[in-house]
Amino acid sequence: MAGETLEFKTEVKELLNLMIHSLYSHKEIFLRELISNASDAIDKARYEALTNGEILERCGEWKIRISADKGAGTLKVSDNGIGMTHDEVIAELGTIAHSGTREFLEQMKQAQQKDRPGLIGQFGVGFYSSFMVADRVTVVTRKATETTKKAVRWESTADGSYTVGEVEKDRPGTDVTLHLKAEEKKYLDEWEIRDVVRKYSDYIEHPVVMDIEREKVDSADKAKRIKTIEEETLNSRKAIWLKEPSEIPAEEYNDFYKHLSHDFTDPAKVIHYRAEGTSEFTALLYLPQKAPYGIMYREYKIGPMLYVKRVQIMDHCEQLLPEYLRFVKGVVDSSDLPLNVSREILQANRHIEVIKKNVTKKVLDTLAEMKKSDYDTYVSFYGQFGRILKEGIHYDVARKEQIADLLLFSSTKTEAGKFTNLDDYVKAMPAGQEEIYYILGKPDENVLQSPYLEVFRKKGYEVLCLTDDIDDIIMIDLKEYKGKKVHSAAKGDIHLDTAAETDKGKFEKLMGRMKELLKEEVKDVRLSGRLTDSACCLVADEGELDPQMEKLLKSMGQEVPSRKRILEINPQHPVFEAMQAMADQGRDDAVKEYTGLLYNQALLLEGSKIKDPVAFARSVAKLMLEGAKRP
């Protein structure tokens, strides 16, 4: 065999290392992974065959075959699916395509032994899991479109490299042969194989077959025993979603979920229904308990599997669900779509649109129901997926209020670990409160004592405390809830303190001078309706981003224009009387110095850096000295 030896990518090496040396439970999943790959390969070939009849002829009847050779100590999983070319073998079996692989490996290293299989499941290591039970793996594969016997042979002992070379293969498809480790020979046992297949791959649509050897009594000569070999199908191949929900025990639902999601944990919720009318389809959907690895990455594959009349069309049909519900797993089986539906057709298909609308409503309704009747499960679900669900407020304007109803919040009034929601918030609003208020940050000392909340504290108004990166944008998009405007406590004008209104005019000249002095820094100086104790604070204008948010977006490399903010002063604070007196006495230098100090103080209060800390420190020291001189 003409061949070459190639190095695995670093990530693959590390992954293999972890898998070989630190995974001791659930090793049997390797078989599920290989069968699942084989089944995907057949689906792809079948899809190609719709437009290329020759493929069907070459491949024959779709089948996954398991062969155990006790003599050689090998277990082989074969399929007659799509196969791989030389370049595909190198790309698919020499690298890991997942983004976030590095972080995943880090997490694996730090995780407890017992948590590792779960992590592996969420990441989906697939093919490489073979090396948990084998010390050598050989793959022989021929592309279904290849008209000659030309095939590729890949082999590795997981020592950092692999070989690839050209061989011949009679039929298209892939044979994966595991040379089992001495201590893993149990996987050659017929009953062990049956067990694992039934446990993890029972729902695979294609037959998983094995030649079963039996000794039988010879019918002609009862004293003689003869050996027979019969091909047996090991999986039931039942499409669980087409059964009546009343006939499906919870365990079966959960098993199927684990099979399709590669998760080890049971789902938080099963949604199984049949839609009839304008569009006929069956949906079996799952809400997971735990966020799968990589769900926050752009490359995360979203959408349930799409079947048309029991035939799998696509692994992930993203047109079936909005992105903000990307945590939903499952299957949609439609009776209306054509079997040869292509990705282009899906883009603008009326049936798909109808299904998407229907499924979206169903998922949101289910979440609302869960929040009402199974609150603890909902809270834990929300902890995992709330951040993603919220995106819907931005993207799905029509369902904004429905999604808003699903949000949970900490607030200045919730106990640690407890939450409120918009409906309860509005119901608890005291007489006189007209708007819903929020601030960015956890309800800790810093936030609870924040000068921005002074007037709210005084009036006893609750303020929602938001901690997700997108919260500011989400609240700006939400605009209002049940007719109540949503308002940042740190932004825009707040008219809650009537005392401040009466002082209008008193400091007009002083404020005019301050505005002039700070014209490069702020766009306005005005009286504050939110301060009752502190002297001043900086606020963003209505509809603009919170400074915390601005910082966050910038740190993520996004272009955010820095807008000038507004300096609000508290007319009840004695410092302004003093400054007014300075102004009246023509001591403009002092007014200048005080204005600078106040502005810098406001920057510090909002958590920003001051431009010239040296000058600030000098000013403060000078004032301290002056203070010390006084008796």
Q: Give the interface segment with ligand ADP, choosing from 22-30, 125-133, 394-402, 502-510 (CB under 6 A).
A: 125-133
Residue 82 in the binding site for ligand ADP (CB under 6 A): yes
Site for ligand ADP in 62-81 (CB under 6 A): 79, 81
CB of 332 closer than 8 Å to CB of 279:
no
Establish if 37 lies at the interface with ligand ADP (CB under 6 A): yes
Taking CA atoms, 443 is separated from 248, 491, 608, in Å, by 45, 18, 19
Cβ within 8 Å of residue 318, ≥6 positions away: 301, 302, 303
Q: Is 121 in the site for ligand ADP (CB under 6 A)?
A: no
Query: Tokens 């065959």 map to which residue?
Result: 49
292 part of the interface to ligand ADP, by CB under 6 A: no
Provide the 3-class DSSP secondary structure of residue 438: strand
Q: How far is the CB of 155 from ligand ADP (least distance, A)?
A: 15
- If binding is defined by CB under 6 A, does position 15 make contact with ligand ADP? no
Residue 174 binds ligand ADP, judged by CB under 6 A: yes
Number of residues that bind ligand ADP (CB under 6 A): 16
Straight-line distance from the first to the last Cα atom of the chain, in angstroms, rounded to the nearest whole number: 98
144: contact with ligand ADP by CB under 6 A: no
Q: Does 126 bind ligand ADP (CB under 6 A)?
A: yes
| Three-state DSSP class for residue 232 | strand
Residue 526's nearest CA partner among 508, 543, 541 is 508
Residue 84 or 364: which CB sits closer to ligand ADP? Answer: 84
Query: Measured from the CB of residue 297, what is the shortest distance to ligand ADP in angstroms?
Result: 14
Q: Does 568 bind ligand ADP (CB under 6 A)?
A: no
Residue number of the CB closest to ligand ADP reads 126
Q: Considering beta carbons, is residue 40 or 469 the nearer one to ligand ADP? A: 40
- As given in the structure block, the two tokens for residue 488 are 């940042």
31 belongs to the binding site for ligand ADP (CB under 6 A) = no
Smallest distance from the beta carbon of 487 to ligand ADP, in angstroms? 46
Residue 564 DSSP code: P
Where does 452-607 show beta strands of DSSP type E? 464-466, 480-481, 484-488, 522-527, 536-539, 565-569
Q: Is 185 left (phi over 0), alpha (psi -120 to 50) or beta?
A: alpha
Q: For residues 207 and 492, which CB has a smaller minimum distance to ligand ADP in the complex?
A: 207
CA distance 423 to 413: 15
Binding flag, residue 471, ligand ADP (CB under 6 A):
no
The Cα 187–Cα 184 span in angstroms is 6
Q: Does 41 bind ligand ADP (CB under 6 A)?
A: yes
Nearer to ligand ADP, 257 or 382 (CB): 257
* Beta carbon nearer to ligand ADP, 306 or 539: 306
505 conformational bin, left if phi > 0, alpha if psi -120 to 50, beta if neither: left
Q: What binding mask, one character per residue, do residues 88-117 give for ligand ADP by CB under 6 A, x or -?
A: ----xx------------------------
Residues interacting with ligand ADP, by CB under 6 A?
33, 37-38, 41, 79, 81-84, 92-93, 124, 126-128, 174
